[in-house]
Structure 1
Amino acid sequence: MRRILLTLATAAALTGCSAFGQDASCTQADMDSAVAVMWRPADFGGTDAAVIRVCVEDRCEEQKSGDADNPIAGVSVRLPDDIGAVTVPVRLKVTAARDDRVVVDDSRRARLTEQHPNGTSCSPVAWTAAFRADPAKGLTSLEGLSLR
């Protein structure tokens, strides 16, 4: 009996469980506060046929539309980690790579939501929002964005 209890205690210690059934360990996943915009490269023509520029307040990031054979591409605009649950302006501008013609010019306001990638009692805390870049509708919900 003593050997069984010792074996169980050792197994519990190695798996990060306490004797009281509480898991006090946190994973080490990292996450930044950011607004992400995703799109299907095929929606914007051939490979790298467009340049997608996303601005949140005064911070901007841009990227070519990507390989038309890939199902999803995206860009994120990093925000201060302590930004909190605020509403921020988001602007999307898509231009044709060949002739700099504006394909999409849209803006929305995004309410940042709190994220805990390692659980609510563990750090980090990140504030995020996400959109889809649609060639006809501009910034839309990610709902319905398929990987196919």
Structure 2
Amino acid sequence: MTVERAVRWVVAVAASVTLAGCGEEPRACTLIGAESQVTVAWDAAAFPAGALYRLCADQICREGKGPAEDAPFGSFTLPLPEADGEQRMTVRFRVTDPVDGSTAYDRSAQVTLRKSQPNGEHCDPTVWQAAVRADPKAGLAPVR
């Protein structure tokens, strides 16, 4: 499965879960959890094995290591606990080669946090999310 297909699949599942949420009254709300966040996804073969990753959204950053060596794609999520509403922000994704410490990838993109209600329109939680795809040739691109 390609990264694009994987990201589309995640977005499609989230959308279908949102549509299947609480709906019309008097149905009870489901209990799907969610948080405001920015997610980056990439083809695992595109970056060095064991690379270190840094994802920032404006001034909030998170660091971590890459996916398992046999994983077809990687993803990394940055929680945004203070996000409250649709807003544009700059997302930056940096990959550091674990062998020599050099920067293997460093790109930025503008994204807009979009409203998501995974349990339905009248049910909590309401969160704000965005996703980007990292590609060495195409750069960092928002996923819609």
- The interval holding the TM-score normalised by the smaller chain is 0.7 to 0.9
* Residue matched to 1:134: 135
Q: 1:52 aligned to 2:47?
A: no
C-alpha spacing 1:108/1:36, structure 2 compared with 1 (3 Å): same
User: Structure with the greater relative contact order (CA < 8 A, sep ≥ 6): 1 or 2?
Assistant: 2
Q: Structure 1 runs of 4+ off > 3 angstroms?
A: none
Task: Tell me how far apart the structure 2 counterparts of residues 67 and 80 of structure 1 sit (CA, whole Å).
Answer: 27
Q: RMSD over aligned Cα, in angstroms?
A: 1.9
Q: Give 2:5's aligned residue.
A: none
Query: Is residue 81–residue 125 contact of structure 1 (8 Å, CA) maintained in 2?
Result: no
Ranges in structure 2 where 5+ consecutive residues have no aligned partner: 1-23
Tell me the matched-pair count.
Answer: 121
- Alignment pair present for 1:99 and 2:100: yes
Q: Does structure 2 conserve the Cα–Cα contact (< 8 Å) formed by 1:42 and 1:69?
A: no
**Percentage of identical aligned residues:** 34
Which protein shows a greater Rg? Answer: 1
Residue equivalent to 1:146: none
Please tell me whether the aligned partners of residues 40 and 132 of structure 2 are also in contact (alpha carbons under 8 angstroms). yes
The answer (yes or no) to whether the contact 2:130–2:143 under 8 Å persists in 1 is no
Alignment of 1:1-148 (within 5 A): 22-46=25-49, 48=50, 50-80=51-81, 82-142=83-143
Query: 5+ residue gaps in structure 1?
Result: 1-20, 144-148
